[in-house]
Structure 1
Amino acid sequence: MNIREVILHSSNYEATKHFYCETLQLPILEENADSLVLQAGESKLTFVADDREQAFYHIAFTIPDNKANEALAWVRSKGIEPIAKEEAVQFPFPNWNATALYFYDPDGNLVEFIAHHSLSNGTGEPFSSKDIIRISEIGLPVEDLPAALQQLNESFSLEMWSGDGRQFAAVGNVEGLLIVIDIKRPWFPDERMPGMFPTTVKLQAERAGSIELGPKRYRIESISGQA
């Protein structure tokens, strides 16, 4: 499964625009008065200005499997403080064969760089924004996780890749994951309780279609094709 585009709402639009364009140096694909489309490797990341509520999301980007340490140094060189938990700022996930780091953007979104070592996509070049390969995860907190899993499976033939299926489920595969969590389960690693905010996710999955997931906060669209 590939995540082709994620559309998020931003209540701190100008600062968020500066962060992703100037600090993270993602190229602008399209811009108008109240929305911004960025190139995040193979994916598009879109922000829509919306000051009606303080929305915050969890979003992850795939980086080369051999660049976890360089990515950490690069983030710090940009003046971004990585999120620490028990003094650790890098987090190995043995079950996923991956290493991740986390930080906040100006909207308070929980942003992750994750190196999946099973992908063997390493590079010998110094780490830069060009090493943001794609959007690999988008968080979708829900009130009824088993029902959400059933809906994703029936609509797009998506299966749970990791998780217990009750509080946490990573749906898809190593290339792209919907992180479906129970609304009462805090995010890792900052232990912040999640919220449900308007989100549009455009996928490439086995089956084409579109659904509204949860209390009509999430719109999931898919084009068909193996990814």
Structure 2
Amino acid sequence: MKILNVSITVRDLSQAAHFYRDTLLLPVDVTATSVEITIGSSLLTLTTGDGFDGVHHLAFGILPSEFELAHEWLSRRVSLLQTDGSEIIFGSENWKSRSLYFLGPEGIMLEFIARDADASKVPDKSEKPQMLSISEVGIGVENVLHTVATLSAELAIPNFYDCSNTFASMGSHDGLLIVVDHERAWFPNKVSKPARGPLAVQVETPKRRSSVILGSGISIVSG
């Protein structure tokens, strides 16, 4: 599964555009009503809106061979979050990954994640790390197991590894939906709770074009 587009609302469109363009050095296209950020093969679309609380979570995939470069490059631009005194956070044996977490505009929980599955990909020899795509999208829901069943039945999105009544991962290493209970705070700060508000995710799956509405303002579209 690949994540093609994620659409969320922000309260301050100009501030958000500034962060993605001038801090993360991503291509940003600003219109009168929206901001589009190109993240490798994915797009992040921002529009203005006040109808949410909590924070969103997005992870951007990077190459394992550029993890050290990403760590050094990112630490000069943002304050990296820590767990157990370390800025480098290892995934489980199943995930086979290393991550760097930081906060973006309006407290959004952002992550650079390097997965061993991408080890064969060749870096572009830039002075900054290559961002491959939006690798993960966090989704807060009322009932995790019901949501997992719905996404599996309607969009043929498979379970990845984790699945409990508070946390589940769905998709593949190329793109994951991180489905969590509304009251489960985001790792690693364990303070920020998932956003309740508009979120639209377009994914590429083998399933024919279809869509699912998950609660108020959340939609997942395949195609």
Q: Does the alignment reach a TM-score above 0.5?
A: yes
The one-letter code sitting in structure 1 at the alignment partner of 2:82 is: A
The one-letter code sitting in structure 1 at the alignment partner of 2:198 is: P
Asked whether 1:209 is paired with 2:207, we answer: no
Q: Matches of 2:104 and 2:189 in 1, distance apart? A: 14
SS of the counterpart of 1:125? coil
Q: Matches of 2:199 and 2:54 in 1, distance apart? A: 10
Q: Matches of 2:21 and 2:7 in 1, distance apart? A: 16
Q: For the structure 1 residues 177 and 127, does the alpha-carbon distance in structure 2 shift closer, same or farther, using more than 3 Å as the test? A: farther
So what's the TM-score if we normalise by structure 2? 0.92
Matches within 5 A, 1:73-222: 73-78=72-77, 80-93=78-91, 94-120=93-119, 121-123=121-123, 125-128=125-128, 131-192=130-191, 193-207=193-207, 208-213=209-214, 215-222=215-222
Q: For the structure 1 residues 76 and 160, does the alpha-carbon distance in structure 2 shift closer, same or farther, using more than 3 Å as the test? A: same
So what's the TM-score if we normalise by structure 1? 0.91
Q: For the structure 1 residues 142 and 52, does the alpha-carbon distance in structure 2 shift closer, same or farther, using more than 3 Å as the test? A: closer
Q: Matches of 1:147 and 1:8 in 2, distance apart? A: 23
4+ residue segments displaced more than 6 Å: none
Deviation at 1:161, TM superposition (A): 0.3
Deviation at 1:117, TM superposition (A): 1.1
Deviation at 1:55, TM superposition (A): 5.2
Deviation at 1:164, TM superposition (A): 2.7
Q: Matches of 2:3 and 2:196 in 1, distance apart? A: 19
The one-letter code sitting in structure 1 at the alignment partner of 2:204 is: Q
Q: Matches of 2:164 and 2:218 in 1, distance apart? A: 19
Structure 1 residues without counterparts, runs of 5 or longer: none
SS of the counterpart of 1:107? helix
Asked whether 1:11 is paired with 2:18, we answer: no
Q: Identity, % of aligned pairs?
A: 28
Q: CA RMSD in A?
A: 1.6
The one-letter code sitting in structure 1 at the alignment partner of 2:79 is: E
The one-letter code sitting in structure 2 at the alignment partner of 1:85 is: T
Q: Matches of 1:145 and 1:47 in 2, distance apart? A: 26
SS of the counterpart of 1:66? helix
Q: Matches of 1:44 and 1:152 in 2, distance apart? A: 22
- Equivalences, count: 219
